[in-house]
Amino acid sequence: MAKNDGLKFTKMSGNGNDFILMDNYDGSVKLSAKQIEALCSPKFSIGADGLIMLEKAAKGYDFYMKFYNNDGKEAEMCGNGGRCIARFAYINGRAKAKMSFLAKDGAHEAEIKKNGDVKLKMIDPFDYRNQVKIRLSGSEVKGSFINTGVPHFVIEVKDLANVRVKHIGKEIRFHTSFAPKGANVNFIEKKGDDVFDIRTYERGVEDETFACGTGATAAGIVLYLNGKAKSPVSFNTRGGLLKVYFKDENKNITDVHLEGNARVVASGVVGEDAFKF
């Protein structure tokens, strides 16, 4: 276990998706998967959907974003987490209002807006598959698969408020169709022109979260490719509004951006007991 005397952290929320952020630019913070899981445990520790380290990146980039789900496992990317670390870097003098950084899924750009919202450039999506049928216990669902940094399955529904997101999402997330990595699962309902409600089951968290940035991005692009929306697409998450922007260049989706809030909730120092289960 790493010595944690004076280990500083900041708690942030991106549309209700909450994260523990740490400045590890000098590489001195060493946390095991169990320690990260303990820190992310609600009621017993700080509690969060994930933990993000700001680390030194290759020349030409302001920093590297290392993201862990709350099970302690490193993941490719998190859209809301990317917006939070961008504002975290800006507040702490690691980057200017317009910045570029690296994550496991590749390069990103971000801009801090005057109202504190963050507009984040995502990677271009890939592996789009439409009309995917998934056989569940006693039923069948149909949706679209796309990777926006992490894999997502998008399902259009009616009466979203009464969808059993955790129950259905968990079964789809672990379905053999998406093995071995699995997929996040997004349920969407149309509310107006280019406006939708969205609820997401996230792998790693293994539960519904208040928002998912890569999920909203996936849903927006899928809706466009299916002829049901155009950029920008707005999503009402349980944690607030997310907007997804993109361009279509000869049937290739590019210049993808995600915009929403990124709020500082608290800052402090991690105590020894925060690492205990």
pLDDT over 70 (residue 103):
yes
Helix axes 79-91, 213-225, angle to 10 degrees: 130
Answer yes or no: 84 catalytic: no
Whether 171 contacts 178, CB under 8 Å: no
Helix H or strand E segment including 167: helix 165-173
Of 47-51, 99-103, 137-141, 222-226, give the lowest mean pLDDT range: 137-141
**Start-end of CATH 3.10.310.10 domains in the chain:** 7-119+263-268, 126-260
Answer yes or no: 212 catalytic: yes
Residue 102 CB neighbours (<10 A): 18
Q: Which CATH superfamily is domain 7-119+263-268 in?
A: Diaminopimelate Epimerase; Chain A, domain 1 (3.10.310.10)
Catalytic position from the list 78, 84, 122, 253:
78
pLDDT for the residue 250: 87
pLDDT confidence bin for 5, thresholds 50/70/90 = low
Max Cα distance, the chain (Å): 55
Residue 94 CB neighbours (<10 A): 18
Residue 195 CB neighbours (<10 A): 13
Q: Please report where in the chains the tokens 């570029």 appear, as a residue.
A: 100
Give the ranges where 62-164 is alpha helix by DSSP (H): 79-91
Q: Please report where in the chains the tokens 């990677």 appear, as a residue.
A: 123
pLDDT over 60 (residue 277):
no
Encoding tokens for residue 64? 């590297």
Catalytic position from the list 40, 53, 54, 212:
212
Q: pLDDT above 90 covers what percent of the chain?
A: 91
The beta strand positions in 122-194, using DSSP E, are 126-136, 139-147, 151-156, 184-192
* Phi, psi dihedral angles at 172 (to 5 degrees): -70, -40
pLDDT for the residue 1: 40
Helix (H, G, I), strand (E, B) or coil at 174: coil
Whether 184 contacts 168, CB under 8 Å: no
The CATH class of the 126-260 domain is: alpha beta
Q: Please report where in the chains the tokens 């009464």 appear, as a residue.
A: 162
